[in-house]
Amino acid sequence: MLEDVKRVLVEAINVDADDVKPEANLKDDLGIDSLSAVELALELETEFDVRIEDEELAKLETVQDIIDIVNAKK
C-alpha cells in the first residue's frame, strides 16, 4: 500500500519519492498545503475507489494516516 500511496503523491502533488515514508508529515515534510490536500484526496478517491470526507481529510497528518484511511475504506 505504501508504494501505491507514494505513486499517487509523486504523480499528483509532485513530491520527491525519497521523502515519502510512513512517518513523513504531509505539511512539514512534504509541503502539502490545503489546496494540494484536496487534490490529493481526489486522486486517492479515484485511484482506490474510496470516498474521503472533508473532516477525514483535515485529520490526515502523515503518510501512514493516508494508508490507514484507504485500508479502512477498502
Active site residues: 33
Q: Which set of grid coordinates corresponds to residue 30?
A: 512534504
Interacting residues of 26 by C-beta distance below 8 A, sequence separation 6+? 32, 37, 60, 61, 62, 63, 65, 66
